[in-house]
Amino acid sequence: MERQNRQSADIPKWSALLAEAVNKPGLIMKAYSNFHSYSIGNQLLALVQCYMRGLQPGPINTFPKWQALGRYVKRGERALTLCMPISRKRRGEESDNDESNGEGTFTSFVHKARLFVLAQTEGEDIQPQVTPEWEAKRALAALDIAIV
């Protein structure tokens, strides 16, 4: 099976994203502050796409989710592309040769353009999303660690 290496001009290569994140002070913190519910890779990917398009980073949702919140995506706006897992069933020979997870399914990752940032929408005001706070006591309790 031949893999295709297609990448949109909007999506920087992972090595370029990582180099920029490490070399630009505050970039990782800004990415986490705006997109904390996503993986670090998707946080950086979303932030860089916002910068490349001149968009204000902020909450992101799919088109239907924005509609449910009383907001509408502006005409002509393009969705942000993030890396998403896709679960698929194995077909024929693939399921016979590889019983790694036993269920006949596998997960692959693809880049999908499905999310819009708040700056790309119009409509009712939304309540700002609160970034979760980190507390040492709660973290230690969750990990069952005692301070000696």
Q: Does residue 103 or residue 43 have the better pLDDT?
A: 43
Q: Which residues contact 108 (CB under 8 A, 6 or more apart)?
A: 85, 86, 88
What pTM, to 2 d.p., does this model score? 0.58
Which residue type occupies 148? V
Number of H helices, E strands in the chain: 6, 5
Decide if 34 is inside a domain: yes
Decide if 80 is inside a domain: no
**Range among 3-17, 36-50, 85-99, 104-118 with highest mean pLDDT value:** 104-118
pLDDT tens digits for range 79-89: 999 888 888 88
Q: How many distinct structural domains can be found in the chain?
A: 1
Decide if 130 is inside a domain: yes
Alpha-carbon distance values, 137 to 113, 130, 141 (Å): 39, 20, 6
Decide if 38 is inside a domain: yes
Structural domain for 64, as ranges: 14-75+114-142
Q: Whose CA is closest to 69, among 85, 83, 58? A: 58
Which residue type occupies 76? G
CA distance 61 to 78: 13
Task: Please count the other Cβ atoms lying within 10 Å of the Cβ belonging to residue 30.
Answer: 18
CA distance 94 to 85: 19
Q: Starting at the earlier edge strand, list the strands of the sheet with 60-62.
A: 60-62, 105-117, 80-89
Decide if 25 is inside a domain: yes
**Range among 41-55, 72-86, 92-106 with highest mean pLDDT value:** 72-86
